């Protein structure tokens, strides 16, 4: 697929594009931003890792009260990142969702890419009571789950926010995560559809790195598509792959 086709598939050409879930939010945002030819920004409403140098961003770090003025100084640049400093090594602090929307508009970005919740490096999660942290003008919600969760027993090493995850999927700790559980997460308002009203939804099963995981991911996608009309396709991907990250697209 071409860069343009990938951006269109993820509905990531224009607006505020937010990644939620677990198993590749940052790699997905980085991959999409790197393909975008226009005026783009990268930020987060939650803690996030330092933006990689390979993205070629000019990164603006400041406390929220100072951030609009600091970002305005760089508004003419094509590619910027903005965040608040953090005392945690290697991490930025997220900024208020309303401020993300303001900076997106003030700097006239074609697209602003936002990490909008955290998963502590797990492969699957359901949102907590205050998640995801979406800017008001979020236009595209990319909901991610890792194929590496499929076939594994649910534990704290695999899943984040187990209480919420079990409520959304019917899983219990120790149960094997099967395609129907991932499908329930993708179609549930207590799962990856949380706060999705009025927004484009792009569900992604990431880390599809071998034929076995692809088969399970395809089954999960087919079940999900049969149970909701909120989206018409599920993207199977390996977003750490820079050349061709899309493994397959399962459509209704």
Instruction: Output the average pLDDT for the chain.
Output: 97
Q: Are 95 and 84 in contact (CB under 8 A)?
A: yes
Distances (CA, A) of 141 to 65, 114, 144, 210: 27, 10, 10, 26
CA 182, 165, 10, 224 torsion-angle sign: positive
Band (pLDDT 50/70/90 cuts) for residue 242 is confident
* Residue 155 preceded by cis peptide, ω within 30: no
The yes-or-no verdict on residue 241 having pLDDT over 90 is: no
- What is the C-alpha to C-alpha distance for residues 201 and 144, in angstroms, rounded to an integer? 11
- pLDDT category of residue 98 using cuts at 50, 70 and 90: very high
pLDDT score for 51: 98
Instruction: List the end-to-end C-alpha distance of the chain, in Å, as a whole number.
Output: 20
Span 157-172, mean pLDDT?
97
Over residues 56-90, the pLDDT tens digits come to 999 999 999 999 999 999 999 999 999 999 989 99
Give percent of the chain with pLDDT exceeding 90: 97
All domains in the chain, ordered by first residue: 3-251 (3.40.50)
Region 243-249: mean pLDDT is: 96
Chain segment 169-217, per-residue pLDDT in tens: 999 999 999 999 999 999 999 999 999 999 999 999 999 999 999 999 9
Q: How many CB atoms lie within 10 A of CB 130?
A: 7
Q: How far apart are CA 128 and CA 175, in angstroms?
A: 21
Per-residue pLDDT band for 45 (boundaries 50, 70, 90) equals very high
| 215 burial level (CB within 10 Å; 0-12, 13-18, 19+) | middle
Residue 156 in contact with residue 221, Cβ under 8 Å?
no
Neighbouring C-beta atoms of residue 191, cutoff 10 Å: 25
Q: Which residue has the tokens 């937010």?
A: 18
What confidence score (pLDDT) does residue 63 get?
A: 97
Rounded-to-integer distance, Cα 141 and Cα 191, Å = 12
How would you classify the pairing of strands 124-125 and 111-115?
Answer: unpaired
Helix (H) / strand (E) element for 250: namely strand 246-251
**Pair of tokens at residue 186:** 């993708």
């Amino acid at each position: 697929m071409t860069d343009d086709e990938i951006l269109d598939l993820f509905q990531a050409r224009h607006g505020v594009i937010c990644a939620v879930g677990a198993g590749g939010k940052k790699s997905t945002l980085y991959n999409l931003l790197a393909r975008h030819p226009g005026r783009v920004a990268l930020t987060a409403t939650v803690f996030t890792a330092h933006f990689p140098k390979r993205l070629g961003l000019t990164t603006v770090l400041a406390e929220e009260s100072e951030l609009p003025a600091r970002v305005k100084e760089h508004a003419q640049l094509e590619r910027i990142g903005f965040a608040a400093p953090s005392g945690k090594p290697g991490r930025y602090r997220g900024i208020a969702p309303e401020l993300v929307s303001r900076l997106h508009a003030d700097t006239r970005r074609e697209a602003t890419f936002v990490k909008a919740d955290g998963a502590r490096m797990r492969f699957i999660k359901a949102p907590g009571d205050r998640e995801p942290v979406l800017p008001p003008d979020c236009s595209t919600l990319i909901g991610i789950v890792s194929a590496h969760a499929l076939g594994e027993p649910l534990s704290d090493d695999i899943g984040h926010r187990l209480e919420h995850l079990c409520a959304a999927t019917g899983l219990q700790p120790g149960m094997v995560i099967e395609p129907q559980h991932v499908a329930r997460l993708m179609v549930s308002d207590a799962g990856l559809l949380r706060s999705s009203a009025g927004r484009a939804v792009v569900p992604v099963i990431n880390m599809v790195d071998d034929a076995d995981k692809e088969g399970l991911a395809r089954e999960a996608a087919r079940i999900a598509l049969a149970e909701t009309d909120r989206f018409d396709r599920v993207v199977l991907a390996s977003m750490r792959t820079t050349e061709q990250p899309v493994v397959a697209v399962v459509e209704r």
